[in-house]
Chains A and B, each alone.
Chain A
């Protein structure tokens, strides 16, 4: 079912007038005129919507944590940092339909009593940021933002805030620091952002996709949304498909859709008619799975039961020619590069893992390195200051779990057993 992409075939849906013609901003009007802020939170709670930024926290519950005290300033930060490897859905949600996001943000702000919201967008998304700014300006002119929205006493200002190339700023507390103008390192919790977030004020941080779902929930009701997907993972999920697939791109599927259907029907199967070897289902921060895991459903519970996580639903697909050590090395380098350096296990551990993987791939590794890698990863996982550390352990632990023999062959044959490109070939070449 298409909810977020239901307008995919409507030309110029990014234009506000077209959006309005297609029923846009009706949900905002309904929320402001027919529902109380608590009523909105109840509808979102009933819908079962869970955060699409990776952790899957129930959205209604997050909003309900915000203190009701009207004398407190409150903020909403929309997380559009989207730097998780393999993930490019928020970009499309913004570029295709910026008003859907604005409407979702406005409804959220009404529900939590906020008059000021920010969209924190990664620095490289220059065009999407411009697009968002133009859409905000248009919506303000039309009275969907600004003072006394739609004739009510609700006011809201939304601003775009550009990051500048730091994966860690997608982590919510680092995002807050970045927005406040200090180095984007994670904060100690508690206090949680709902109590002390941006500028020490109660703050909700939600992913783009999470917020884009909100107008549809308000318009059609929480029960309707809860009837889509699985019992505990409701609604749809936008999956980003990339790597060795024939039709890469974003696809919106019901939660619970089997991975086989997503890879072989939506994404058109494996590039070059090859066999699937491995895939990461939720951006590189979740454990990889294999051909054995094709009947797993795409939802929070099924992914967990299969030994991975839903994460961002950014699929990176690898075919049978891919050297797993090399692929793992690639992901390990990412975390070593993006570690903010604040805590020792992550700062040191991510670099060690890169060094050991390099020597295994180059043929100078020893058998003992494999268990050492597992040790290092286990020492980062759960012992780091923030979840980036845990994430860095996932590719290493899962690749050794599923492909230990391939690591061993690298060591015993003193080098990579894969010929030529090792699966890292040019598209079509």
Chain B
């Protein structure tokens, strides 16, 4: 799928915003992921074209960072923090709970394409542990009951 005209415009804008063109690669990858849901080969080639940079430079940056998905994921990525402060307050239990409830292992996507379950490192919100990030949102002080409500809510959002 080609990236949208809007995304192209934003990438071209990013190109002018920094002292060097290469600085626009990372912002462009964020734009690409927002547009396509993950960083596609095709999209990276377009970025390379728009920024006049070799494709290898774009690919090299993309593969360095854990936030960029290299393949399609569910509509919602459930990124559960597994680092110490969250772990001390039960994040491993929550991962097991989600895994069982959704019928998928960590790294997998539900058959309906709604949820991808992942574990991530400290999200910088340890005071509200255990914490999970889904989309732009941080979900805090999690319990299994709260997770039930969050999943229902996200399902409803996806239908709307």
State the A residues within 8 Å of B (CB): 82-88, 90-91, 116, 122-127, 159, 161-167, 178-184, 199, 240-244, 248-250, 284, 314, 316, 318, 322, 327, 330-331, 333-334, 337-338, 421, 423-429
State in angstroms the CA–CA spacing of A400 and B20 once bound together.
Answer: 48
State in angstroms the CA–CA spacing of A11 and B55 once bound together.
Answer: 49
- Shortest B13–chain A CB gap in Å is 12
Query: Taking A85-B126, A316-B126, A427-B143 as contacts, is the C-beta distance between A180 and B22 under 8 angstroms?
Result: yes
Asked if A337 contacts B126 (CB within 8 A), the reply is no
Q: Would you mind naming 28 contact pairs between A and B with Cβ atoms under 8 Å apart?
A: A86-B126, A87-B124, A116-B19, A123-B67, A126-B136, A127-B138, A159-B17, A161-B26, A162-B27, A162-B30, A163-B65, A164-B65, A164-B68, A165-B65, A166-B64, A178-B26, A180-B22, A181-B21, A181-B57, A243-B84, A243-B89, A248-B129, A330-B84, A338-B121, A424-B93, A426-B130, A427-B130, A429-B143
Question: Please, which residue of chain B has its CB at the minimum distance from the CB of A183?
Answer: B64
Would you call B122 an interface residue if the criterion is a C-beta within 8 Å of the partner chain's C-beta atoms? yes
Asked if A86 contacts B143 (CB within 8 A), the reply is no
Return chain A residues, CB-CB under 8 Å to B23.
Answer: 161, 179-181
Asked if A427 contacts B124 (CB within 8 A), the reply is no
Question: Please, which residue of chain B has its CB at the minimum distance from the CB of A159?
Answer: B17
Question: Please, which residue of chain A has its CB at the minimum distance from the CB of B83?
Answer: A85
Return chain B residues, CB-CB under 8 Å to A330.
Answer: 82-84, 87
Beta-carbon contacts under 8 Å, B109-160 to A: 120-130, 133, 136, 138, 141, 143-144
Return chain A residues, CB-CB under 8 Å to B87.
Answer: 327, 330, 424
- Shortest B104–chain A CB gap in Å is 21
Beta-carbon contacts under 8 Å, B1-53 to A: 17-27, 29-30
Return chain B residues, CB-CB under 8 Å to A314.
Answer: 126
Asked if B127 contacts A250 (CB within 8 A), the reply is yes
Known: A179-B23, A182-B57, A427-B90. 15 other contacts (CB 8 A): A84-B122, A85-B122, A86-B122, A86-B126, A91-B125, A126-B136, A164-B26, A180-B23, A181-B57, A248-B128, A316-B126, A330-B84, A426-B90, A426-B94, A427-B129
Asked if A124 contacts B88 (CB within 8 A), the reply is no
State in angstroms the CA–CA spacing of A189 and B99 once bound together.
Answer: 45
State in angstroms the CA–CA spacing of A244 and B88 once bound together.
Answer: 7
- Shortest A46–chain B CB gap in Å is 32
- Shortest B132–chain A CB gap in Å is 11
Return chain A residues, CB-CB under 8 Å to B129.
Answer: 242-243, 248, 427
Task: Select one of B57, B68, B84, B141 contacting A85, CB under 8 A.
Answer: B84
Question: Please, which residue of chain B has its CB at the minimum distance from the CB of A91?
Answer: B124
- Shortest B127–chain A CB gap in Å is 4
Return chain B residues, CB-CB under 8 Å to A85.
Answer: 83-85, 121-122, 126
Would you call B92 an interface residue if the criterion is a C-beta within 8 Å of the partner chain's C-beta atoms? yes
7 smallest CB-CB distances across A and B, nearest first, come from: A181-B22, A426-B90, A165-B67, A164-B65, A242-B126, A165-B66, A242-B85
- Shortest A262–chain B CB gap in Å is 14
- Shortest A146–chain B CB gap in Å is 15
Asked if B143 contacts A331 (CB within 8 A), the reply is no
State in angstroms the CA–CA spacing of A428 and B30 once bound together.
Answer: 38
Asked if A181 contacts B90 (CB within 8 A), the reply is no
Which bucket holds chain B's interface residue count?
35 or more
Return chain A residues, CB-CB under 8 Å to B88.
Answer: 243-244, 316, 318, 322, 327, 423-424
State in angstroms the CA–CA spacing of A180 and B27 once bound together.
Answer: 11
Asked if A88 contacts B125 (CB within 8 A), the reply is yes
Question: Please, which residue of chain A has its CB at the minimum distance from the CB of B141?
Answer: A427
Return chain B residues, CB-CB under 8 Å to A182.
Answer: 22, 57, 60-61
Asked if B124 contacts A429 (CB within 8 A), the reply is no
State in angstroms the CA–CA spacing of A338 and B127 once bound together.
Answer: 22
State in angstroms the CA–CA spacing of A330 and B14 once bound together.
Answer: 38
State in angstroms the CA–CA spacing of A181 and B144 once bound together.
Answer: 40
State in angstroms the CA–CA spacing of A122 and B122 once bound together.
Answer: 11
Return chain A residues, CB-CB under 8 Å to B126.
Answer: 85-88, 240, 242-243, 248, 314, 316
State in angstroms the CA–CA spacing of A126 and B124 once bound together.
Answer: 12
Asked if A167 contacts B20 (CB within 8 A), the reply is no
Query: Taking A181-B61, A240-B126, A427-B130 as contacts, is the C-beta distance between A199 and B20 under 8 angstroms?
Result: yes
Task: Select one of B92, B124, B128, B130 contacting A124, CB under 8 A.
Answer: B124
Query: Taking A250-B127, A427-B143, A428-B143 as contacts, is the C-beta distance between A316 and B85 under 8 angstroms?
Result: yes
Question: Please, which residue of chain B has its CB at the minimum distance from the CB of A179?
Answer: B23
Task: Select one of A88, A126, A181, A183 contacting B127, CB under 8 A.
Answer: A88
Return chain B residues, CB-CB under 8 Å to A124.
Answer: 67, 123-124, 133
Return chain B residues, CB-CB under 8 Å to A88.
Answer: 124-127
Return chain B residues, CB-CB under 8 Å to A166.
Answer: 64-66
- Shortest B111–chain A CB gap in Å is 27
Asked if A331 contacts B84 (CB within 8 A), the reply is yes
Question: Please, which residue of chain B has its CB at the minimum distance from the CB of A157?
Answer: B17
Determine which residue in A88, A248, A333 has the highest number of CB atoms from chain B within 10 A of its CB, and name it.
A88
